[in-house]
Amino acid sequence: MTHISIADRMPTLDFTPNALKDGIGVVPLILMAGFADTSLAAGELVASGAVRIEGRPITDPDHHILSYAFDDGEVLRLTVGAKSTMLIRRAD
């Protein structure tokens, strides 16, 4: 039986350790994931409470995901609205 991980079935954004050195902002992350077309629209999604990372609401448009969030090889789930989900992981 072949094991298929959730990351194999869900859209995923991979970041190099260098790209995560200073963290990644939630607004650019929403844009990269394709969940908004402009920074303004992404910021409005955040301000309205539609954005969650690992189920936790993100309401600050200046929020950054810092590199230590991936120290244990963690994959983070970004959810925007009820149905838009993307995984974020560090590509080593």
CATH of the domain at 58: 3.10.290.10
- pLDDT category at 8 given cuts 50, 70, 90 is low
When pLDDT is cut at 50, 70 and 90, the band that residue 5 belongs to is: low
How much is the average pLDDT of 53-81?
Answer: 87
Segment 15-42, tens digit of pLDDT: 888 888 888 999 999 999 999 999 999 9
Per-residue confidence (pLDDT) for residue 49, from 0 to 100: 94
Q: What is the pLDDT of residue 1?
A: 47
| Beta-bridge partner residues of 13 | 88
Residue 1 lies in a domain: no
Report d(CA 22, CA 53) in Å as an integer: 18
Question: What is the total count of domains within the chain?
Answer: 1
Count of beta carbons in the 10 Å neighbourhood of residue 67: 17
Q: Report, as an integer, the average pLDDT of 44-50.
A: 96
Which residue segment(s) compose the domain that 43 sits in? 6-90
